[in-house]
Amino acid sequence: TGYDTPFDRLYKAAPESGRQMILVNLAFQLWDFLISLNRKELNSPEMLAHHALAATLCAIGLHIGFVQYYGIYFLGVTEVSSLPLVYVDAAKFYPEMQRARPGMDLAFKVMFGLSFIAVRDVYFIKYSITLWKDSWSVLSDGSALYPKMTVGFL
């Protein structure tokens, strides 16, 4: 795959399509941060910090190439669960959508729940463990390009 070693998974640049996905996520996080500032239900300190940190991680990954391999998953694939969430959120603001198509509303809620569990719980843990192991590996063998950032990232 070209990402066979811990060093490669942490420091090797992702394909252009992966970098583009991270760039899109950076734009999304900045947009969401700015929108959340003016929405009482969205501007909790933890959500603002979430968007700010995610944007920072995107920028760092794009600028110095740190963890782009993992960025494809954490900043791209995890957003799959957001697709059915768009409908679920829209139906909250437009209840007539729920009333008009209750079966579709239920289907989108189930799709969101299942996709969230799969990509943000099960696989998130799998990729997190691999990221931690890779980070400890390069720190232990002295090959970390950015040791302080790697420690801070953990």
Task: Give the pLDDT score at 100.
Answer: 94
> 94-129 pLDDT, tens per residue?
999 999 999 999 999 999 999 999 999 999 999 999
Distance CA 144, CA 146 (A): 5
Q: Compute how many other C-beta atoms are within 10 angstroms of the C-beta atom of residue 154.
A: 10
Question: Is the pLDDT at 88 greater than 90, yes or no?
Answer: yes
pTM, two decimals, is 0.82
Average pLDDT, the chain: 92
Question: Is the pLDDT at 1 greater than 80, yes or no?
Answer: no
Question: Is the pLDDT at 135 greater than 90, yes or no?
Answer: yes
pLDDT tier, 149 (very low <50, low <70, confident <90, very high otherwise)? confident
Task: Give the pLDDT score at 42.
Answer: 82
Q: Is the CB of residue 105 less than 8 Å from the CB of residue 98?
A: yes
Q: Compute how many other C-beta atoms are within 10 angstroms of the C-beta atom of residue 56.
A: 12
Residues shown for the chain: 154
Class of residue 23 by CB neighbours under 10 A (exposed 0-12, middle 13-18, buried 19+):
middle
Task: Give the pLDDT score at 64.
Answer: 87
> 31-72 pLDDT, tens per residue?
999 999 988 888 899 999 999 999 998 998 888 888 999 999
